[in-house]
Amino acid sequence: MDNKTLKDNWHIYMEKPSLWHNKFHLEMPFGLVNDPNGLCVYNGKYQIFYQWNPTGCQHINKHWGYTTTTDFINYSIPQLALAPIDDFDKNGCYSGSARVNNNRLELVYTANLKDANNIRYPRQVLAIKNDDGSFSKKEILVDDVPSGYTTHFRDPYLFKHSNRSFFIIGAQRENLTGCALIYEEVNNAWQLRGELKTDYKDFGYMWECPNFINIDGHDILIFCPQGIKAQGHKYNNIYQAGYLIGKFNPDTLEFTHGEFQELDHGFDFYAPQVLVNKNRNILIGWIGMPEKESEYPTTNEGWIYSLTIPRELHIKNNIIYQTPVQELNALNKNNETYLNCQDLILNTPCKITLDIDMTDKNYWQGDFEIGGDILKLSFDKNTQEFCVNRDDLSLGGKGKRYFTVSVKEKLHLDIYIDTSVMEIYYQDGEAVATSCYYAKEKLSAIPFKTNIPTSITVSQLNSIEFN
């Protein structure tokens, strides 16, 4: 696959009949997409890279795909930015990040190399964008794994703090516990400063995809710990994505923080990355889950996984609130509000907003009929627990996800419904749940029923465009 072929045939690829391809979620017409990478702003455009195997639905042959946008609605036709064709990265151009340095777009990624015994040799590599739009791998910035750590050493994320340049990278100690390491740029070279000092000394066996950002004056570590055992309704996915809020000392690497909180409470969310643009922090996540490929029937169509809609982040009550970026409002074709409504026929793609009066009610339930199956949402006011229930769906993963939402009198939901993805935003972003669902045949409509008459606003949505 080459970029000219992609450009010349993109719209043919996208017009191929599909039961499940989404309309306003970024995804590829074929192959496997996972971690968003290299999110930044360059020459007035949002740069969005992502892991992409364009040759199949397996976690191999990882390239960096690439698109740009100014409004998160109109995108450039995706291209291949990095390919695993060099001796040092022949087993994959793994995740990383980007920055603009001296008016040049720079990428830093993990080059994955394995020997005949499947032993990893990770390196952290610098690539740049050339004037003609192509990308070149320039140099290996970190050629080995620091002493005391295993070869699970990946996913560098560039950030600034106190007018100094760093990257944080996921690692595994030799005692097989996860952590993150900090490198600092000094005299144009990257030097290992040491391990980020947190209170979590034994929290999973590997920390993937770390981000270090500042939101509303708070330092935030976002990361994906692997190997966390479920605790009641917490940590129910195979791997987690969450955050710590605190204060970072760049001289001592001490990070004083609160408890780990999950970013998304649905079934299908992992490996988020945050784009920092002045005072905006915009998160994009991978809609998928490692080692669960059998739960995604889209492989029958030759593709798998998507990226979330972009979410803006803020801090409120010591929680990261996530809300869809305002630019997405331009997707709305029309709005119609139904008062005291209990039954409704929905046509995707759409957004529905519900304001549910719980003043004298203790239980709410909303059912989406997916081609004869039921995707069930419910809320118990006594326990303050919301539930997403996929047990009645014939295709894809099953199970229930429970999480706490603060409700006294009104439960407010903004639900973005695409062809096979549902993103639910609770109480104006206090909680989010991203989940896939799959109809057995092409859907013409989704009947929706609720046990409490409520105000429902339906917005039909346009598709994102590639030009």
Q: How far apart are CA 64 and CA 181, in angstroms?
A: 23
Strand-by-strand arrangement of the 135-142 sheet: 93-101, 104-111, 123-129, 135-142
Q: How far apart are CA 298 and CA 367, in angstroms?
A: 24
Looking at this protein, which amino acid is placed at residue 371? Answer: G
Which of 2, 35, 251, 264 is an active site residue?
Answer: 35
Q: Which residues, including other chains, have CB under 8 Å from residue 189's CB and lie 6 or more apart?
A: none
Q: How far apart are CA 379 and CA 363, in angstroms?
A: 6
Taking the CB of residue 400, how many other CB atoms lie within 10 A of it?
14
Q: How far apart are CA 383 and CA 358, in angstroms?
A: 13
Strand residue runs (E) in 130-269: 135-142, 149-161, 164-173, 178-186, 189-195, 206-215, 218-226, 242-249, 254-257, 261-262
Q: What angle do CA 464, 54, 227 make, to 5 degrees?
A: 90
362 in Cβ contact with 409 (< 8 Å): no
Half-sphere exposure of 317 toward its Cβ, with a 13 Å CA cutoff? 7
* Partners of residue 436 on adjacent β-strands: 421
Q: How far apart are CA 313 and CA 415, in angstroms?
A: 18
Query: Does 360 qualify as catalytic in the annotation?
Result: no
Helix, strand and coil content of the chain, in percent to the nearest 5, comes to 5, 55, 35
Q: Which residues, including other chains, have CB under 8 Å from residue 29's CB and lie 6 or more apart?
A: 10, 13, 14, 16, 21, 303
Q: How far apart are CA 27 and CA 200, in angstroms?
A: 35
What tokens does 225 get? 């710990």
71 in Cβ contact with 85 (< 8 Å): no
Q: What is the largest CA-CA distance in the chain?
A: 66
- Measuring CA to CA, how many Å separate 90 from each of 81, 110, 228, 381? 15, 11, 31, 53
| Burial class (CB within 10 angstroms; exposed 0-12, middle 13-18, buried 19+) of 307 | buried
- Give catalytic residue positions: 35
